[in-house]
A and B are shown apart, each in its own frame.
Chain A
Amino acid sequence: MDKELQDKIEGLIASKKIFLFMKGTPDAPMCGFSAGVTNVLRSLGADYNSFNVLSDMSIREGIKEFANWPTIPQLYIDGEFIGGHDIVVEMARSGELQKKIGA
């Protein structure tokens, strides 16, 4: 991945404690898994920023390589890759996500 793209991705992730790469926007998710994660974050009252990967093909592909993770959505907390839809839902169920967000 070229440095410019990597810097851009890192800049996005660093812009907020909780950052979500998703398809669509929190108000209008364009995929069921992205909608699922925004629902979880909303239910927890999380304050987060998001990026719509459908608006930028370089980020859409770059983020997969960046995280070594082939799918979107991708959730980051404190700069750390947390996981995709299944992991976020499971962590919210177990209470682990609440701890990470509150910490």
Chain B
Amino acid sequence: MTVQEIREKIQAGLPGSEVEIQDPYNDGVHIKAIVKFSGFAGKSVVEQHRMVYATLKDELKAEVHALGLETKVS
């Protein structure tokens, strides 16, 4: 899973979202996604993260546990 693929998957699942991917170690493993999305409004942080995870369902099954996540209402 490349950084670009992660961004595309999230944006496809949450249309209109802004996605910033940080790869601080430049290893493609310890990735952090910062997602701004209007659809997060009124939802708890847990629900917001679940919405992002849902767009990466198949990727996360493959034990991509090193995905950091920060969500914001846009």
Which A positions have Cβ atoms within 8 angstroms of B? 31-33, 68-72, 81-87, 90
Main secondary structure of the interface of A (DSSP, over half): mixed
Number of residue pairs spanning A and B whose beta carbons lie under 8 angstroms apart: 36
Inside 8 A of A85's CB, which chain B residues have their CB? 68
Q: Cα distance A68–B67 when bound, in Å? A: 16
Contact of A84 among B30, B49, B56, B61 (CB under 8 A): B49
Q: Tell whether A86 pairs with B50 under 8 Å between CB atoms, given A70-B57, A70-B61, A71-B60.
A: no
Report which B residues bind A (CB closer than 8 A): 30, 45-46, 49-50, 53, 56-57, 60-61, 65-70
Interface pairs (19), CB distance under 8 Å: A31-B65, A32-B30, A32-B66, A33-B66, A69-B46, A69-B49, A69-B50, A71-B53, A71-B60, A72-B65, A81-B46, A82-B46, A83-B49, A86-B69, A86-B70, A87-B45, A87-B49, A90-B45, A90-B70
